């Protein structure tokens, strides 16, 4: 390019200032206090505890109660590994591991808990997925535990690893039933389409408390 065609910069020209790569916060973050820690536990680590407990119950259903009673002592290391993989912080790992242990051992010591995995049930499946079409959309449901009992009743059961710290456990359980009735009702509705003449019972099991709620699927729900 000829020199005459080039534009020369003025001797007074200065490059614009470079923006800093680190921006100072006007309001620095507050230190985490007890309330924040409690919220994090309820919303994060507790959810992962539920994931591990559900997986362990599926393992029990696959291996059978008799074999699991012998093998259970070796499972704790696997629980800890899985909790770490899910992202449970090291400072919360011991508490999370203890909750998993308590949920499993309490269930195995409970008559109702062992009934959930009884070998006498027919068509017993854990983490059972059902895909159905609704309004031209494919939706998938995952049922924690379902089986046909000896009397021919189809059971649909959901595990809830939530833990009530107060004294009024009955009121807590009643609220949980209201909270999850619609969810279990939708499970019953889809199952009813597959088995229109079979009676269906719904159940919520709380391993932390050896607590159990059951009720029949209503005609409106299962129709």
Q: Which domains does the chain have, with CATH numbers?
A: 43-109 (no CATH), 115-216 (3.90.320.10)
pLDDT at 179 over 90: yes
Q: How far is CA 66 from CA 96, 100, 106, 156, 210, in A?
A: 26, 20, 16, 23, 20
pTM score of the predicted model: 0.77
The tokens describing 73, both together, are 């002592």
Q: How far apart are CA 89 and CA 122, in angstroms?
A: 40
* pLDDT given for residue 32 in this prediction: 38
pLDDT at 110 over 70: yes
Q: Are 52 and 100 in contact (CB under 8 A)?
A: yes
The residue assigned the tokens 């009530």 is 164
Taking residues 79-86, report their average pLDDT: 94
Band (48; pLDDT cuts 50, 70, 90): very high
* pLDDT given for residue 136 in this prediction: 85
How confident is the model over 131-167, as pLDDT tens digits? Answer: 888 888 888 899 999 999 999 999 999 999 988 887 7
* pLDDT given for residue 31 in this prediction: 40
Q: How far apart are CA 72 and CA 65, in angstroms?
A: 10
How confident is the model over 3-30, as pLDDT tens digits? Answer: 444 455 454 555 554 443 333 333 333 4
pLDDT at 35 over 90: no
Using DSSP's 3-state secondary structure scheme, residue 62 falls into: helix
Alpha helix stretches (DSSP H) within 2-122 = 34-40, 46-63, 65-71, 76-86, 90-108, 111-115
* pLDDT given for residue 74 in this prediction: 80
The tokens describing 41, both together, are 């536990």
Averaged pLDDT score across all residues of the chain? 82
Axis-axis angle for helices 76-86, 90-108 (nearest 10): 130
Taking residues 109-128, report their average pLDDT: 96
Q: Within 10 Å of residue 203's Cβ, how many Cβ atoms?
A: 18
* pLDDT given for residue 3 in this prediction: 42
The tokens describing 110, both together, are 């409970």
């Amino acid at each position: 390019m000829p020199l005459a065609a080039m534009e020369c910069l003025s001797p007074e020209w200065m490059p614009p200032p470079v923006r800093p790569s680190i921006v100072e916060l006007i309001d620095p973050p507050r230190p985490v206090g007890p309330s924040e820690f409690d919220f994090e536990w309820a919303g994060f680590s507790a959810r992962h505890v539920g994931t591990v407990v559900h997986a362990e119950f599926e393992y029990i259903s696959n291996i059978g109660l008799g074999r699991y009673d012998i093998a259970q002592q070796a499972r704790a290391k696997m629980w800890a590994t899985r909790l770490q993989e899910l992202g449970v912080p090291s400072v919360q790992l011991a508490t999370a591991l203890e909750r998993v242990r308590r949920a499993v051992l309490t269930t195995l010591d409970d008559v109702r808990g062992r009934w959930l995995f009884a070998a006498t049930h027919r068509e017993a499946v854990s983490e059972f997925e059902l895909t159905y079409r609704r309004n031209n959309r494919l939706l998938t449901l995952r049922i924690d535990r379902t089986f046909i009992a000896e009397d021919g009743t189809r059971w649909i059961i959901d595990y809830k690893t939530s833990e009530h710290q107060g004294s009024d456990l009955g009121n807590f359980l009643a609220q949980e039933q209201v909270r999850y009735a619609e969810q279990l009702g939708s499970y019953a509705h889809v199952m009813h389409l597959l088995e229109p003449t079979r009676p269906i019972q719904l159940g919520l099991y709380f391993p932390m408390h050896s607590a159990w709620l059951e009720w029949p699927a209503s005609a409106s729900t299962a129709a």
